[in-house]
Structure 1
């Protein structure tokens, strides 16, 4: 059983945000660092993967939909990706990066002190693109939890870049938010588990990070990309408006 777990989700290839979180004392001493997907689709994909792999067995990896899409694009299994930066990011990856992404599981379970059996996934336990939100209905949560073993007492998911902790049908649900592409508030969002669940926020020098990313990345629209996402120009209201219809709710809700 693990005493302390750091959860990092949706890094999206932003190296300075990742470095800021890894420098946090609670991240540096965690028994395990769990990555809940969407690790690479962003301006510094190779650098992010190289840093994470250097941490060795402390890191537990899960694939996100964006990681899957990059791999499919490079393997010729698709000819486009909706995210404009993703095709460029896919071309930056070495063969060893592709092999790593191809071997990642869609979910994993760990036993964490104070929480019991915790299932980690990217979007939901059954799908890497499905949307659930802090205000999704209990009927919706029952639907996405269908098929889970009864002994799973907590579920950790990412995908929507919006941090929350809530109960749903007796299970604790934790979304750590996004390390590299936050919505609503700038800085890196992550979480710690054990014995409870705590949402974490790491401030770092956003202007310096924008300058670093813009300098180091060859993505053609990098200045616009880094300004928009590192400053969290998309509000939480914007994100909820975009994601809400995808969680099955009625339009009148």
Structure 2
């Protein structure tokens, strides 16, 4: 079985379109969307694209999906943080039906001996980083039965072997770090391949700047020049 895993799209429509074009050409058997779909400058376009696939793809809850849904259900009296400001922008761009769908994702998804989560098997905000000490990761995965854990959240791709388990980070489609492209993962029973799909980042940044999204300049700058993070 051939599986594609796409994580951390963060409202970057051009990046998502580029990856889905490759996935559709490769005729994968399943697509796992690992969370953090809408939080970003183009939530409507991204959600509409993925909502059309809601009966075909498998969706895992990301922390920003959950936080958008929670803010939609119980709005704050005042907006204090960048995260809350972008949450509110996303809420205003999406329909009630789409927001309810965003809040319906499961915490994880299992495929045979593979567990797909957003952060760690314990929490959608707990980060398994490329340099997280192995003893800390062991605590996060100690109750996981599957031998392979696919995660995201940190936006940096990696493969690590810890406590006899494969820990794979699919990277970020829309707000990637280190690589100037859309990062994702393709796997089958024999191989796990970290992918990077090139797309027109200048056009993506230009379209982002045409939106009315808060902090659109920061989003566009990140797309144009992904930061180098970590060791």
Q: TM-score, normalised by structure 2?
A: 0.91
Given that 1:158 and 1:176 are in contact with CA atoms closer than 8 Å, whether structure 2 keeps it comes out as yes
- Matches of 1:141 and 1:220 in 2, distance apart? 35
Distance 1:236 1:156 in 2: 20
Distance 1:73 1:231, change over 3 A: same
Instruction: Could you tell me which runs of 5 or more consecutive residues in structure 1 were left unpaired when the two chains were aligned.
Output: 112-116, 241-253
Task: Verify: 1:158 aligned to 2:158, yes or no.
Answer: no
Residue matched to 1:69:
67
1:140 aligns with one of 133, 136, 160: 136
**1:125-204 aligned within 5 A:** 125-149=121-145, 152-194=146-188, 195-204=190-199
Q: What corresponds to 1:20 in structure 2?
A: 18
Once residues 105 and 27 of structure 1 are traced to their aligned partners in structure 2, the CA distance between those partners, rounded to angstroms, is: 28
In structure 2, C-alpha distance between the alignment counterparts of 1:187 and 1:99, rounded to whole Å: 30
Contact residue 39 and residue 65 of structure 2 kept, 8 A: yes
How much has 1:148 moved relative to structure 2?
Answer: 1.7
Pairing 1:55–2:57 present: no
Q: Is the aligned partner of 1:226 residue 2:212?
A: no
Q: How far apart in 1 are the matches of 2:111 and 2:152? A: 17
SS in 2 for 1:57: coil
Cα distance in 2 between the residues matched to 1:109 and 1:25: 20
CA deviation after TM superposition for structure 1 residue 90, in Å: 2.4
Please point out which of 217, 225, 235 is paired with 2:228: 235
* Runs of 5+ unmatched residues, structure 2: none
How many angstroms does 1:71 deviate by? 0.8
Match of 1:6 in 2: 4
Contact 1:31 1:58 in 2 (8 A): no
Distance 2:76 2:143 in 1: 30
Q: Separation in 2 of the partners of 1:188 and 1:179? A: 4
Q: After TM superposition, give the deviation of residue 46 of structure 1 in Å.
A: 1.7
In 1, Cα distance between equivalents of 2:180 and 2:116: 24
Q: CA RMSD in A?
A: 1.8
Q: Deviations over 1:97-141 (max 9, x none)?
A: 111012110111012xxxxx1000000011010122122222112
Distance 1:138 1:91 in 2: 41
Shift of 1:43: 1.0
TM-score by length of 1: 0.84
